Amino acid sequence: MMMMTSYRWLRRNLFANTVDSILTIFVLALVAWLTARFLGWAIEDARWRGIYESRRLLLVGLYPPEEIWRTWLMLGILCMAIGAAMIPSLRRFAVAILLAACAGAVLVLAPPGLDRWGGLLLSLMLAIVVSAASLPLGTLLAFGRSSRNPSLRACCAGYIEVMRSVPLILVVYWIWITVPLFAPESSMSSLVRGMIGYTVFNAAYVAEFVRSGLQAVPRGQREAAQSLGMSNWTVSTDIVLPQAIRFVQPALVGNVLDVFNGATLVFIIGLTDFLRAGQMILADPSSSSAVQEVYVFMFAVYFLIGSAITFGARRMEARMQRSTR
């Protein structure tokens, strides 16, 4: 039965007519040739020794070797939180669970010093913290922009439009410079300043996602709740917001991918993210000839992480579509 279904799918999608058949055969032959060439290079000619010897710089930067166990504990905390958030009975608390897990992961990794984070560890933690912090701030901005109070609505709308009109690198660099100017006694690390700049920028985009979800909730539900004597706060937090988040959940998960890909811009404030770590390896004369190997490795890592995030967003979207039928 499965073979018949596969045959019908191939017949309908790839070999429906003569033109489709020729294109399918050509593309398959091209992919097979490129794959064979790449595997031949990767197995026989590529020099992966430099990648192996520099693996610590690529993965954790200057994080102390004796404290590496903290990174494994952090991964365990995040994996357990993601698993718990996917349990049906706990799904309504998913946001709170993930926020608590992010806070716990930061506390686990913080003792050796935030400025010692680097490589893939820095890129992942930056994406996780910024995405988690942007959600509550973006939600408040979305409610503010939808408020009936003209002053609050104007302030929130102005903030969102300003942030969406300037590049991320400018906001991060501006926050990094101005914090020492306004608080000279502050010892805030460059990483924290970078996270703050990235968060205030990304929150504007999250606000627009959440606002579109708020607009998708039928007005009759709000009116029915108010007719029962519920306060505006209760209606917003217990009736409207859960449905709005549910509508835009795939977009919010996709936004995590955008944050992760944008983490490379923190090099402007002296941080060593995953891409910067690869460039540092190539700056070493002993590894300068391994350009293809370094960039192929980084491409594979970015592709795998991005594919995992995209797959999660698609699964959420499919689950939502099934639940609304």
Domain ranges within the chain, ordered by starting residue:
50-323
Residue among 253, 113, 134, 137 at smallest CA distance from 195: 134
pLDDT at residue 5, as a whole number: 67
pLDDT at residue 323, as a whole number: 55
273 forms beta bridges with: 119
pLDDT at residue 141, as a whole number: 93
Task: Tell me the two tokens of residue 201.
Answer: 């920028």
> Given 3.40.50.1220, 1.20.1260.10, 3.40.50.150, 1.10.3720.10, which CATH number is that of 50-323?
1.10.3720.10
Going residue by residue through the chain, which has 325 residues, state the pLDDT in tens, using 9 for 90 and above: 556 666 677 777 777 777 778 888 898 899 999 999 998 888 888 888 888 888 888 988 888 888 888 988 888 888 888 777 667 676 667 667 777 888 888 888 888 888 888 899 999 989 989 998 998 899 999 989 988 888 999 999 999 999 999 999 999 999 988 888 888 777 788 888 999 999 999 999 999 999 988 888 888 777 787 777 777 778 877 788 888 888 888 788 888 888 998 888 888 888 888 988 888 888 888 777 888 889 999 999 999 988 888 887 777 667 666 555 5
pLDDT at residue 242, as a whole number: 81
pLDDT at residue 325, as a whole number: 52
pLDDT at residue 43, as a whole number: 87
Helix axes 274-283, 291-323, angle to 10 degrees: 170
pLDDT at residue 7, as a whole number: 67
Half-sphere CA count of 151, side-chain side, radius 13 A: 0
Per-residue buried b or exposed e for 259-274, using 16+ beta carbons within 10 Å of the residue's own CB = bbbbbbbbeebebbbb
User: Using the 8-state DSSP alphabet, how is residue 273 labeled?
Assistant: B
| Alpha helices (H) in 235-290, listed in sequence order | 241-262, 274-283
